[in-house]
Structures are given as structure tokens and as C-alpha cells.
């Protein structure tokens, strides 16, 4: 086996081509890693709020809370089954969106999701925490705003006030909602919402007597409960585990953005592999006499082949490490996107996990292997006699 220090020395001798190839691969790894972090960020934001032991009930035919409407008279009937936790009760909520101007001065317009809930709505979600201010009082026009969107929007009625603690805003004129605090919810999509009293939000939006969804804590057989509700003709409802519901909500958005990121990564990776091949081909051409010497010293074709493949992989992994280090900086970046299911704005944070790092480094190694295989085979076929004569 050819000593590995020989390959390391050759990379240092060709500093410019080594740096250029490593940076090319680093760019690919950066794009690929960013797409993976974005996918994880979307999944965390949308699915974190869903629990496997929670059930969400929507009107049959609805694919989100925004398009669902359930008569208030049905809500308490959902509790009359042995599989449901009576202690938690039922949480019937109304969900609407308000079209607001962004407060960044660009004049951009987006949708802010507003959730009206009964008094047990906040206790039902143990991940809820007040970051600043206080929680709203039930039965009042007080609301709290999620950490991710606090101050990002202006009052939709055109007053110019930011939607943040200390200010009020109107869904309709002369029906103000007073923002009294900012909350967090474990990094979930709830942090991109405004929460207020159920009756107040329904009255202000003109949707009295209905809720968008009902939530319950399940303690028994989920399938039995689902069949009981969905099979009852008086309801015409759809029952899902909350975790499954949020997974469905994230599928379109994460799928689209991840596909775009991977498509860009594939295009860049082709260029990076070509760059690696050019670099290694140049190395073979410039080191034919060295290769001939190695062969004359008794190193086999297989040893030379393995040596050049190892050199290409080492070069690619070096670029992968650089790209991975750079992509980790995206962990400090947050940006808004539109959830395709609800058409409301959702603030996403790039999320790094060990699997993202491992997959990015594996991708770099594969690019090095593919890019360096051809030149390595060429190096292994060099004749010692011809090389020494060159």
C-alpha cells in the first residue's frame, strides 16, 4: 500500500488546484446541507406541536383547520366516549387569517394566523410559555403573540402600529385586540400565531356558533374512537392523531423546498465532480514519472489505484468539512415562508442535526469517489517503463 503521506504531500504541492476543488465541493455540501437543515426546520416548526396522544377533529372533506367548520353544539358530544380523557376536556378552537403588511418597510403583504381558544386551550398545551408580558385573561379582548412573529406585522386596518405587546390591532374596525404578551411553544408553528379568547375572536370575525377544530387527549383505543366518530352520521367528521395531522401539513411545503434545494445540489455536484476529475487527471499527468517509480519499486496497480482514490476522497472530505462548518452558521438564520396548507406565514429556522452532518460528509466522499475513479484507473494503468522514459 502506498503511504498516505505521499498523497497528502502531493495535495500541498498543488495548493491552488487543491483549494479550488475543495471549495467547489464545499459549495455543493453547503447547498445540500442547507436543504437538509431547511427540511428539518420545517418539520420541527410544523410537527412539534402535534402529540401522538392528542386527537384533532375536523369537518369531513377539510384538509386544514382553516377550511373546517364544526357546529358548537357538537363539540361537547365528542367527549362522550370512554377512550377520551375527561380531565383534559375538549378544546374547540376557531382559526382565521388576517392579511397584514409586513413591518420591514418593504410593503410586503402576508397572512397572520389568529387562533381563538377556550379557557382550557392554553393548559392543554404544556409547551406554552410566556416569554414577556403575561397570558391573556379568558373572556376579554386580550391576546398573546408568538415569539416568531412578534413585531413582524402592522395593524391590518392601516393604523401603522406594529402587532406587538403594548399595542392593539383590529380584525375589523372598532374591535381592538390588545396584545399583552409574547409566548413560545417549543419552536413549533404555534410561535407564528396569535392566541386569544374563542368568543372574542369568533365575534370579531363574524363566525359565531362554529369552531374550526376540536382537540381531545386520547387514553384508550384510537381506532375505536375514530370509527365511532367518523361512522356516526350526525357528525360527518374526520378524526386524526394530532401528530399525523401536522405531518400532513408539512408535507407539501417541506417537499417543495427540499426538492428545490436537492436539485440545486445535484447541479452543483456535477460541476464539483468534474472539477475533482480535472484536478486528479492533472495530477496523474504531472506525476507520471512518480507513478512509474512507485510501480518500479514494487507497488501493484491495485495499490496505485487505491492511493489515488483515497487522495480524491480525502480532498472531497476536506471540502465537505469546510462546507459543513459554513452551513452550521445557518443555524442562526430565521426566515418566513407561506404554509401551502393554511396560506399563513410561518417563520422557519434552519435546524442542524447529527444526521445532517453525516449525510453531508457522505455526499462529499461520494463526489470524491466518483470524480477520482477515472483518473485513478488511468494512474493504475501507467506503464513503469513508459513513465520512466517520459
Per-residue tens of pLDDT for the chain, all 390 residues: 666 676 677 777 777 777 877 888 888 888 888 888 877 887 777 666 678 889 999 999 898 898 899 999 999 999 988 899 888 899 999 999 988 888 888 888 888 999 999 999 999 998 999 999 999 999 999 999 999 899 999 998 877 899 999 999 998 777 889 999 999 998 888 998 999 999 999 998 888 899 999 999 998 889 999 999 999 888 899 999 988 888 777 666 667 766 777 777 777 777 767 776 776 676 666 666 777 777 777 777 788 788 878 888 888 888 889 989 998 998 888 777 766 666 667 777 888 888 888 988 888 888 888 877 777 787 777 666 665 555
Same domain, residue pair 289 and 310: yes
* Helices first, then strands: H and E counts in the chain: 10, 14
Do 82 and 118 fall into the same domain?
yes
Beta bridge partners of 182: 132, 145
- For 275, the grid coordinates are 472539477
Q: Verify that 41 and 62 share a domain, yes or no.
A: no
Q: Do the strands 237-241 and 54-59 form a parallel or antiparallel pair, or are they unpaired?
A: antiparallel
- Give the integer Cα–Cα distance in Å for 310 and 304: 10
Beta strands in 223-328 (DSSP E): 237-241
- Please indicate, yes or no, whether residues 200 and 67 belong to a single structural domain of this protein: yes
Residues 265 and 193 in one domain: no
Q: Assess whether 40 and 59 both reside in one domain.
A: no
Within-domain flag for 168: yes
The residue out of 195, 217, 239 marking a domain boundary is 217
Q: b vs e for 312-349, b when ≥16 Cβ sit within 10 Å of the residue's Cβ?
A: bbbbbbbbbbbbbeebeebeeeeeebebbbbebbbbbb
**DSSP code at position 190:** G
Q: Using CA atoms, how far apart are residues 288 and 295, in angstroms rounded to an integer?
A: 10
Q: How many CA atoms lie within 13 A of 5 on its CB side?
A: 0
Residues 159 and 295 in one domain: no
Question: Do 103 and 154 touch, CB atoms closer than 8 A?
Answer: yes
d(CA 377, CA 355): 32
Q: What is the pTM of this model?
A: 0.73
Domain span including residue 11: 4-47+250-389
Alpha helices in 63-102 (DSSP H): 72-75
Cα–Cα distance, 258 to 50 (Å, whole number) = 22
CB 309 within 8 A of CB 284: no
Number of domains in the chain: 2
The rounded distance, in Å, linking the Cα atoms of 308 and 375 is: 8
At 198, list the grid cell.
374563542
In a domain, 233, yes or no: no
Q: What does the alpha-carbon distance between residue 309 and residue 192 come to, in Å, rounded to a whole number?
A: 49
Cell of 121: 386551550
Contact 92, 218 (CB under 8 A): no
Tell me the C-alpha distance between 67 and 59, whole Å. Answer: 8
Look-up of cell digits 374563542: 198
In a domain, 225, yes or no: no
Q: Measured on CA atoms in the order 98, 104, 105, 109, is the torsion positive or negative?
A: negative
Amino acid at each position: 500500500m502506498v503511504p498516505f503521506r505521499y498523497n497528502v504531500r502531493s495535495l500541498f504541492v498543488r495548493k491552488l488546484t487543491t483549494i479550488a476543488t475543495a471549495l467547489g465541493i464545499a459549495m455543493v455540501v453547503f447547498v445540500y446541507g442547507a436543504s437538509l437543515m431547511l427540511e428539518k426546520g420545517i418539520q420541527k416548526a410544523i410537527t412539534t406541536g402535534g402529540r401522538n396522544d392528542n386527537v384533532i377533529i375536523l369537518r369531513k372533506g377539510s384538509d386544514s383547520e382553516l377550511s373546517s367548520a364544526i357546529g358548537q353544539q357538537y363539540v361537547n358530544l365528542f367527549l362522550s366516549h370512554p377512550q377520551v380523557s375527561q380531565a383534559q376536556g375538549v378544546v374547540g378552537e376557531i382559526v382565521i387569517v388576517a392579511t397584514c403588511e409586513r413591518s420591514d418597510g418593504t410593503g410586503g403583504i402576508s397572512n397572520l394566523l389568529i387562533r381563538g381558544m377556550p379557557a382550557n386551550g392554553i393548559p392543554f398545551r404544556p409547551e406554552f410559555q410566556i416569554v414577556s408580558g403575561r397570558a391573556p385573561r379568558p373572556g376579554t379582548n386580550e391576546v398573546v403573540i408568538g415569539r416568531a412573529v412578534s413585531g413582524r406585522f402592522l395593524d391590518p386596518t392601516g393604523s401603522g402600529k406594529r402587532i406587538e405587546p403594548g399595542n392593539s390591532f383590529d380584525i375589523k374596525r372598532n374591535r381592538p385586540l390588545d396584545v399583552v404578551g409574547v409566548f413560545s411553544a417549543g419552536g413549533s408553528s404555534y410561535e407564528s400565531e396569535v392566541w386569544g379568547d374563542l368568543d372574542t375572536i369568533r365575534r370579531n370575525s363574524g363566525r359565531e356558533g362554529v369552531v374550526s377544530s376540536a382537540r381531545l387527549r386520547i387514553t384508550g383505543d384510537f381506532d375505536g374512537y375514530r370509527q365511532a366518530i367518523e361512522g356516526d352520521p350526525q357528525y360527518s367528521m374526520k378524526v386524526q392523531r394530532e401528530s399525523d395531522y401536522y405531518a400532513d401539513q408539512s408535507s407539501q411545503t417541506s417537499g417543495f423546498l427540499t426538492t428545490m434545494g436537492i436539485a440545486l445540489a445535484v447541479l452543483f455536484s456535477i460541476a464539483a465532480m468534474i472539477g475533482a476529475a480535472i484536478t486528479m487527471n492533472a495530477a496523474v499527468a504531472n506525476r507520471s514519472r512518480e507513478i512509474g517509480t512507485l510501480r518500479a519499486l514494487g507497488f501493484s496497480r491495485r495499490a496505485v489505484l487505491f492511493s489515488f482514490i483515497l487522495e480524491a476522497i480525502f480532498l472531497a472530505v476536506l471540502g465537505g468539512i469546510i462546507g459543513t462548518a459554513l452551513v452550521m452558521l445557518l443555524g442562526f438564520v430565521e426566515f418566513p415562508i407561506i404554509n401551502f396548507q393554511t396560506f399563513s406565514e410561518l417563520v422557519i429556522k434552519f435546524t442542524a442535526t447529527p444526521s445532517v452532518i453525516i449525510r453531508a460528509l457522505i455526499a462529499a466522499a461520494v463526489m470524491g469517489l466518483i470524480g477520482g475513479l477515472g483518473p485513478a484507473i488511468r494512474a493504475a494503468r501507467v506503464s513503469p517503463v513508459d513513465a520512466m522514459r517520459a
